[in-house]
Chains A and B, each alone.
Chain A
């Protein structure tokens, strides 16, 4: 199984949680590509629209290189600390750059207007969010809704949101999330 992990988690977060998340993914993937955004500078989306028109991002960096891998993967994993119920801005930097996955035409999915996917392969989406101790009520629910919305927007085959609270067992939570998708080993 080909897996791509986009992560804004770093050693500044709970190092045990971060390493166990990656270990679980390594165990379940034949081929794991990781883009660690805390260590890799990527450019921010310019909103120039070239991706819609020409299917290509005008920026040239590691995100541009990993996009074809995402387009052909089985599993895309987004790992982040949850801030205001959603991605850390560092992960959002990469998520904004996923727009070339959508084509220049439109389609109806779930009764809503969306960009038609540019690539034939459908991947499953896993969102892993570490919930801050100071998180407000409802932030975990928002994160789950966000991953559900991403799954519709990116035309994913399936999705699961894993929220890791405080010092909960990150490894177990991610494993059970993958099991829900039927991709755990």
Chain B
């Protein structure tokens, strides 16, 4: 089975990359060696697009993973979708089933909704199959670490990705219970409290920096 993971983050220390590494390892446990297309940079280059086209041509499943910057995937991820559509003739009869992963530091799933809608429109335009999406919130503290070392902020992410690996291997869509479980906030506190705690933490960091 050919699986392609697209990592649509420009960051050097990318949480999307941490998720892709974790998912790759879980897929490998199921005898699937995915091809990882990691944008890594803020802008696209032609070689990366060509490599993407070559990989997707034979893909049975494509996992499109990206953070959310101001309600949408970052420029590099949107550009990639745009470039793939522009060069769809090069894809031949490719028709991968697509899974999407959208994540951000904000806890509420609504922050990811338009991003997922855009990816879904892209998939529809390409004529590919849609196998659903996972939304993860509160991921900023992962800070590019391996998910196994990221403590409570990856606690919802890890089991969801294990189940996703299973679903990919079985060529099944994401069920609603998994989509809901993934989008639950990692810390079960009301938004007001979380904001208060975050600001208190940021104030203490800045106070310590000033004292130094």
Question: Chain A residues in contact with chain B, CB under 8 A?
Answer: 43-47, 83-89, 92-93, 95-96, 98-99, 104-108, 111-114, 134, 136, 138-139, 142, 145-146, 149-150, 153-154
Tell me, yes or no, whether B122 is within 8 Å of chain A by CB.
yes
From the candidates B69, B70, B82, B106, name the one contacting A113 in the complex (CB within 8 A).
B106
Tell me, yes or no, whether B42 is within 8 Å of chain A by CB.
yes
List residues of chain A with CB within 8 A of the CB of B70.
95-96, 98-99, 150, 153-154
List residues of chain B with CB within 8 A of the CB of A93.
75
B109-121 CB mask vs A (1 if < 8 Å, else 0) is 0110110011101
Binding-face segment, B22-30, B51-59, B165-173, B192-200? B192-200
Complex CA distance for A99 and B104, rounded to whole angstroms: 14
Complex CA distance for A106 and B197, rounded to whole angstroms: 10
Contact (Cβ within 8 A) A142 B75: no
The number of chain B residues with a CB under 8 A from chain A is: 38
B41-74 CB mask vs A (1 if < 8 Å, else 0) is 0110000000000000000000000010111101
Complex CA distance for A96 and B74, rounded to whole angstroms: 7
From the candidates A47, A89, A98, A154, name the one contacting B82 in the complex (CB within 8 A).
A89
A-B contact pairs, 13 of them (CB 8 A): A44-B43, A46-B11, A84-B81, A84-B122, A85-B114, A105-B202, A111-B191, A113-B107, A134-B125, A146-B114, A149-B113, A149-B114, A153-B70
- In the complex, which of the residues A107, A134, A149 has the most CB atoms of chain B within 10 Å of its own CB atom? A149
List residues of chain A with CB within 8 A of the CB of B67.
47
In the complex formed, the residue of A with least CB distance to B72 is A86
B12 CB to closest chain A CB, in angstroms?
A: 8
Tell me, yes or no, whether B108 is within 8 Å of chain A by CB.
yes
A167 CB to closest chain B CB, in angstroms?
A: 21
Tell me, yes or no, whether B157 is within 8 Å of chain A by CB.
no
Complex CA distance for A153 and B106, rounded to whole angstroms: 11
Contact (Cβ within 8 A) A43 B106: no
Q: Please judge, given known A-B contacts A96-B69, A107-B195, A108-B195, whether A145 and B42 are in contact too, CB under 8 Å.
A: no
